[in-house]
Structure 1
Amino acid sequence: MATSISLVGLSCFLLSLCLVCSLKEGYAFEELIESYAESYLTHNFEISSLFASSICNHSTKANERESTFRVVDKYGPCFQPSLHRSVVPPSLTDIIRSDRARIYSIQARLSSNSGCRDHIVEPNSLRIPVIDGSAFNTLSYLVTVGLGTPKKDLSLVFDTGSRLTWTQCEPCRSCYNQSEPRFDRDDSDSYVSIPRTDPVCAYVQRPVDPPHPVKSCSYEISYGDGSYSVGFFSKETLTMSATEKINSFLFGCGTDNKGKFGLEAGMLGLNQEDASIVVQTAQKYKKIFSYCLPSSASSTGHLTFGSQTPAPANIKYTKLVAQKSPFYGLDLIGIGLGGKKLNILESIFTTPGTIIDSGAVFTYLPRDAYTTFRDAFREAMSAYPRVTGPSASIETCYDFSKSSSVTVPEISFFFKDGTVVGIPGKYGLIEYSSTQSCLGFQESYAGDKYSIIGNSVQRTMEVVYDVAGQRVGFAPNGC
């Protein structure tokens, strides 16, 4: 019996040796092993980490940074109870509806836009923490800045697609409810009204029916969902931190504001137009900013103006496409799962182009790219039961109630210059209920073939916008 077992073992050894040799004759055996591992690059997470917890978890990296404000989710565990207001969180259907309005608005503006760039100079750096505002009608992110003298702290949604910073102002003809008291220009020693004849008044669109006094520069800004703000284009002192102030900062003092805003006090515009904070602070921060979006509503992130020393670890840069200005365009040529690029024609991405956006929640791909990606994701996730989503458009959802952990394939974005950015598959999922999550990707809508890299896949990634250097960088584990 012992002899028989030995012969069997010897035969298996020789067979294995022959197999190895034959593989080496065709191509390197090591390459086969690497290719096999790359094709199944996955990340395993505890189910509980996919959902917001009841405990506030401040980002250690954000706390270690200088000039940092503590910012919390007003509807999460980091929120101060004295300021709390009861607001029903948006459903995924609500988010899709809001995303759709936003994308239509972006699409309408892209055809005639162009941009310019400045030379890169090493600037100072300023960092502001960021929170997840997922309880608003859209999955927005907030920062708290100080406005006026003495300063008044205001929580603003920051938006890479918006041109203007504005807040609700007293006296207000029509204002929505916000958590902090509204800004009162009469209480500020540094408020300056801009005359209608001032050249900077051309930075904003004037309303058909301007508010009084008509000799002042008035503005109107509207959003894809029908929300709007109307008021006076003015100058104020913007306090970024205890040591950093921006004097004569241009902003909208809104006296007539209406729409699907949450309890935020207004908007912080981060696109590439003249009135944005990026352009206004170009001399100081050289058109460089970055953000790290928190992993969930129970965590914090940060927003940084200026370059960082040292630079974020393992950062990868790719080209910023000037033609997509004032939005931030990228040369995306492919998408992958598990470390392997999917078989999708590059022209499907390159012909229309790609935008990276802090305001859209889902990531949007042209039809052929989306269906290929969706089917590959479903196959990779076949071990988990699929459930019916909240709407027909949200079609790939999973029930994780019977699992303690989940294994999700890594998501990769491939760019024309050879840069490949890997995203933990965890952030390709969006919470549906306490035990269910849905794929955070959607098909681009009819008439809109652009790819939009939304904010859900950007979570915990340090995204660096070096506008002057015409590049965007991605660094893992930013917060």
Structure 2
Amino acid sequence: MAYPILFNPFLLFISFFILLIHLPVHQAVNDGFSVNLIRKNSITNTLSQRLMDTTQANSYANLGEHLLELSIGTPPVKIYGILDTGSELVWTQCVPCPNCFKQLNPLFDSTKSSTYTNISCQSDNCHQEYTGECSPQNTCGYTYAYGDSSITHGVLALETITFKSSTGKPVQLNNIIFGCGHNNTGVFNDHEMGIIGLGRGPSSLISQIGSSFGGKKFSQCLLPFHTDTNISSKMSFGKGSEVSGDDVVSIPLTNGTLYFVTLLGMSVEDTRFDISNNHETIPKGNMFIDSGTPPTILQQKLYDEVFNEVRKRVPMNPITDDPDLGTQLCYKTPTNLNGPIITMHFEGGDIHLTPIQTFIPPKDGVFCLAFTNTSNENRGVYGNFAQSNFLIGYDLERSMMSFKPTDCTK
């Protein structure tokens, strides 16, 4: 199974997390997907317009996670799923749902969609690592588990998904594989309706739609923590999603079905801490880029070095008498503190993080360092707090990621 880590933000600063990297081996999916742009023009004009469009979707900050807005079914029904580069499956809660977490919006009712089709047990699409269960109705069942013990169980189906575009016109893709979850448990809040898997596996959203939009690539601009929920940012897919400019840093991805890059070390202002004195001995792919994990999780030695240096650099006394905060480095201040610049030294270039990305308020008047530690000495996680206010491009075909500092609220 793929490995996303989904964290409860209210426990974020009072507990440590164990990093469990589990690399999957997936069978390839070789389905074709058609694109229908909703137009009244001729076929020639439709094709020309398609080349001018960039397919997009809105995303929103939500309690340490980011929700991606998509529409599924015919007629289209909006769903809001956790934007997760650390997993593969696209799924939402569906009627009937005898054991589901509470959500504010109505559950998706497949009986009201004219384009919903169950995947049979004999279909090639049913031969996934997370499938294999067959119902008496010959529908393909799935069970997908996550690193925080969240689990979704249901049936695989084909459905139409509707996106937005840069020209304001809707874009429809048919026969997208998704999970209709009927039994879902774990760490979810009532604004969430499922998970949108954006990993590199064959049934992820980007792998399925890439050929229709000019390549397997996308870009996202994650909003900072506690951004007004009425503010959205854009995720772009395929042609037009490229990240360019003089201040872009491009970082190579290592092989695999998830997004692994190589971290060489970190600096707090001008004080640098290298993972190893010999860069040739640093494990390749030692940092996992995951939009579904809020904090950045560092190997213990590196975490201790950064923690101690940040404490030296902040001219304030940290909070030591609040049991809810545990051992986290936190400060009482009405506004975000003037903390040091923290630099991530990746193979390929440096990413400079400001306090808006490194200090997060778990409660009013308190700001805490948005890093935690793991006992896994080989791999860490680059979480979504550190990714906020960067336009980040993922190019699966070139195996590259690109980072550009951006105000994602604009």
- The interval holding the TM-score normalised by the smaller chain is 0.7 to 0.9
Residues 1:315 and 2:281 aligned together:
no
1:302 alignment partner in structure 2: 234
Any gaps of 5 or more consecutive residues in structure 1? 1-88, 117-121
SS of the residue 2:253 aligns to: strand
1:172 CA drift (Å)? 2.7
Measured in 2, the distance between the counterparts of 1:466 and 1:339 equals 32
Measured in 2, the distance between the counterparts of 1:243 and 1:346 equals 52
CA 290–393 in structure 1, closer or farther in 2 if over 3 Å, else same: farther
Residues 1:444 and 2:367 aligned together:
no
Mapping 1:213-362, distance limit 5 Å: 213=137, 215-241=138-164, 242-263=169-190, 264-285=192-213, 286-297=215-226, 298=228, 299-308=231-240, 311-313=243-245, 314-322=247-255, 325-345=256-276, 350-351=282-283, 353-362=286-295
CA 468–90 in structure 1, closer or farther in 2 if over 3 Å, else same: closer
Instruction: Determine which structure has the larger helix proportion and give its number.
Output: 1
> Is the contact made by 1:380 and 1:409 (CA closer than 8 Å) also made in structure 2?
yes
> Is the contact made by 1:195 and 1:217 (CA closer than 8 Å) also made in structure 2?
yes
1:347 CA drift (Å)? 6.1
Query: Deviation per CA, 1:121-148, whole angstroms, max 9, x where unpaired?
Result: x9963222211110xxxx2110111110
Measured in 2, the distance between the counterparts of 1:328 and 1:141 equals 18
- The TM-score with structure 1 as length reference comes to 0.71
Residues 1:465 and 2:397 aligned together:
no
SS of the residue 1:219 aligns to: strand
Measured in 1, the distance between the counterparts of 2:94 and 2:241 equals 37
Measured in 1, the distance between the counterparts of 2:395 and 2:97 equals 37
CA 405–92 in structure 1, closer or farther in 2 if over 3 Å, else same: closer
Q: How many residues align?
A: 367
Measured in 2, the distance between the counterparts of 1:344 and 1:226 equals 30
> Is the contact made by 1:339 and 1:411 (CA closer than 8 Å) also made in structure 2?
no
1:198 alignment partner in structure 2: 123
- The TM-score with structure 2 as length reference comes to 0.82
SS of the residue 2:160 aligns to: strand
Q: Name the stretch that deviates more: 333-342 or 469-478.
A: 333-342
> Is the contact made by 1:462 and 1:475 (CA closer than 8 Å) also made in structure 2?
yes
1:34 alignment partner in structure 2: none
> Is the contact made by 1:220 and 1:231 (CA closer than 8 Å) also made in structure 2?
yes
Measured in 2, the distance between the counterparts of 1:357 and 1:201 equals 26
CA 470–343 in structure 1, closer or farther in 2 if over 3 Å, else same: closer
1:80 alignment partner in structure 2: none
1:243 CA drift (Å)? 2.3
Greater Rg, structure 1 or structure 2? 1
> Is the contact made by 1:129 and 1:303 (CA closer than 8 Å) also made in structure 2?
yes
Instruction: Determine which structure has the larger strand proportion and give its number.
Output: 2
1:308 CA drift (Å)? 2.8
> Is the contact made by 2:27 and 2:128 (CA closer than 8 Å) also made in structure 1?
no
Measured in 1, the distance between the counterparts of 2:313 and 2:233 equals 30
2:84 alignment partner in structure 1: 159
1:291 CA drift (Å)? 1.1
